[in-house]
Structure 1
């Protein structure tokens, strides 16, 4: 319940910010670009700068109201639709949903809109659907909702906050960051693939990653890469340590799969198990590519995380974590930590101390 509220508040913050900016821009176009038009005339109730200021303030109010409305609409839409629908269908259905809600609300509160925007109307209430200005406002809002949808898609593609940083050119030159990485891999993948066949196996991976994506936002993780049946997750160092996010995500994923064990058994004849390796530290992050731009991480942290995960089979445990990271975690009563020893990982000259963590 707390997470659902957190999701809504985050969406509300983004929506209100975007629509406030969008409606301020709209007010600038109307105030300075149009003095009057058929069926609608702007009343410059106050002269000069003061008049413009009051006019823009009213549109800020409208932007906030639209932001709250669309945040609620999107939240309900996300709850009613499946994350497995195609991107095209998602955008079309969401935009149609926005159009219906916007049209309905505008028809209901047109008089209020006219009052708030300092306009006078020569069209009777209820006949705004025949007014050019009405449709111009609707079209602007629908186009703006398209832009907002694409911004959210880009943000999901690159990770939380990364898209904005890319737009600002932060990663054009390599930057040093301190991050935690988890390499999460399907256990006994070769055996399962041979048993199921490539089509059924692909469906299994799709279902597993769908379940993983359900727990990723709850633990503030970022998905860096999908590589076959492996996922690479990442956290800014402090965010990964907070509430033991980097460890609790793994257990939350396990719990979700166990809760759906009957579904997996009926469809695939197996409940998939995953193994994971965790490590953290400083590394470089930069933007690479021209045709297909991506954010790439370079450094020993990546390699060490992958090598640690590769030791899970040898130690017969599902989760391994480096000694360096375990020292910064807060092991509470719900977790037990066991030191397994030192191992010389492939490509390294010094041994690395590794631990396993289990939930009580």
Structure 2
């Protein structure tokens, strides 16, 4: 993968995280202002400054906290992005959470100090003595920090859920769209490591697991750009999925395979230096109509049922037999507007395992 492609991909990921973080934290801190200040002047026994009394006066703390939330959103997004890129693979999950939480705490105190200084100058009736350790004696700061901690847990939970299911799928599951089986048109790709048994014997189970980790880390680097969803990891195999429209758009379902190859090739020296072997993958792909439904109770997940998945897996199994890395069905090839940089070659009609009717399959190669 070229440096310009990598930079563009990383920028897109960062901007995506940035706008989500800014919106969430602006809304979260606006809610804090509502909980604490809205209607406070109407409560018996509570006296507030004239500047923040009434609906109009309430707009001042609302605007102040919303702006502070936007700043915190930018900082937290930057911290999350940098930790994911630079630290996540070097530290254990527990240690990374401790270091990241401490980093966010320091920046939060800095933002609170800057905000308190600005508010004191803009609103003379609100004077906050911002000196070293000022936040230790302010009860409102501790209540705000506790609120930020709870909000951070909510945001992290939502982020994990979206990463697990994909943003579109997660929102549909919240609405109960898959409570009953639902018919969908989707594309599936089965992506499998070549010569996995020999590589596992050569590396041993511990180093082999690290090897697979690195391969799928590289895969994740290109998944978002091509709008793919990772349906499953099964050993040394990854199952990718697209809605039919997204998979066909810009030939995403084909482009991703070759982008993954380029990404791995850019780390050839790393793989050979650490493992003494370079990973090669084979893929089989098919698309069509199948059923989607939520399954399970103790562990709930979205499952797809239908011939599309079975056919995709069996097409991938034909790769070794025909000595090619990428095969897809004739049906899917006809639906795709294959770019001039790709070439397709008919393999012929094959009777896939478990099927009664032969299916035409094609290999795909890339010129660039």
Give the TM-score taking structure 1 as reference length. Answer: 0.89
Quick check: 1:125 aligned with 2:130? yes
CA apart distance, 1:344: 1.6
Q: Which blocks of at least 5 consecutive residues in structure 1 are unaligned?
A: none
Residues 178, 92 of structure 1: alpha-carbon distance in 2 compared, 3 angstrom cutoff: farther
Q: Given that residues 39 and 54 in structure 2 are in contact (C-alpha distance below 8 angstroms), is that contact kept between their aligned partners in structure 1?
A: no
Q: Partner residue of 1:232?
A: 239
SS in 2 for 1:125: coil
Quick check: 1:257 aligned with 2:257? no
CA apart distance, 1:115: 6.8
Q: Partner residue of 1:298?
A: 305
CA apart distance, 1:302: 0.7
Q: Given that residues 120 and 128 in structure 2 are in contact (C-alpha distance below 8 angstroms), is that contact kept between their aligned partners in structure 1?
A: no
SS in 1 for 2:335: coil
Q: Given that residues 99 and 142 in structure 1 are in contact (C-alpha distance below 8 angstroms), is that contact kept between their aligned partners in structure 2?
A: no
Quick check: 1:201 aligned with 2:211? no
List aligned pairs for 1:12-27, cutoff 5 A. 12-27=18-33
Distance of 1:15 and 1:88 partners within structure 2: 22
Quick check: 1:109 aligned with 2:115? yes
Q: Given that residues 98 and 142 in structure 1 are in contact (C-alpha distance below 8 angstroms), is that contact kept between their aligned partners in structure 2?
A: no
Q: Partner residue of 1:68?
A: 74
Q: Given that residues 283 and 298 in structure 1 are in contact (C-alpha distance below 8 angstroms), is that contact kept between their aligned partners in structure 2?
A: yes
The alignment of Structure 1 onto Structure 2 pairs a total of residues equal to 357
CA apart distance, 1:97: 1.7
Q: Partner residue of 1:281?
A: 288
List aligned pairs for 1:107-256, cutoff 5 A. 107-113=113-119, 120-121=125-126, 123-126=128-131, 127-256=134-263
Q: Partner residue of 1:100?
A: 106
Distance of 1:184 and 1:150 partners within structure 2: 29
CA apart distance, 1:311: 0.6
SS in 2 for 1:348: coil
Which stretch shifts more, 210-219 or 25-34? Answer: 25-34
Q: Given that residues 283 and 299 in structure 1 are in contact (C-alpha distance below 8 angstroms), is that contact kept between their aligned partners in structure 2?
A: yes
Q: Partner residue of 1:266?
A: 273
SS in 2 for 1:109: helix
Q: CA RMSD in A?
A: 2.7
2:337 paired residue among 330, 333, 358? 330
Distance of 1:292 and 1:200 partners within structure 2: 30
Give the TM-score taking structure 2 as reference length. Answer: 0.87
Which stretch shifts more, 119-128 or 18-27? Answer: 119-128
Distance of 1:351 and 1:109 partners within structure 2: 69
Residues 236, 43 of structure 1: alpha-carbon distance in 2 compared, 3 angstrom cutoff: farther
Q: Partner residue of 2:317?
A: 310
1:353 paired residue among 357, 360, 363? 360
Q: Partner residue of 2:4?
A: none
Distance of 1:46 and 1:131 partners within structure 2: 19
Q: Given that residues 174 and 287 in structure 1 are in contact (C-alpha distance below 8 angstroms), is that contact kept between their aligned partners in structure 2?
A: yes
SS in 2 for 1:326: helix
Distance of 1:12 and 1:271 partners within structure 2: 35
Residues 169, 276 of structure 1: alpha-carbon distance in 2 compared, 3 angstrom cutoff: same
Distance of 1:74 and 1:41 partners within structure 2: 41
CA apart distance, 1:72: 2.9
Residue by residue, what CA displacement relative to the aligned partner does 1:17-49 show, whole Å, maximum 9, x if unpaired? 21122122212210247559xxx9754547654
Q: Given that residues 95 and 142 in structure 1 are in contact (C-alpha distance below 8 angstroms), is that contact kept between their aligned partners in structure 2?
A: no
Q: Which blocks of at least 5 consecutive residues in structure 2 are unaligned?
A: 1-6
Which stretch shifts more, 151-160 or 76-85? Answer: 76-85
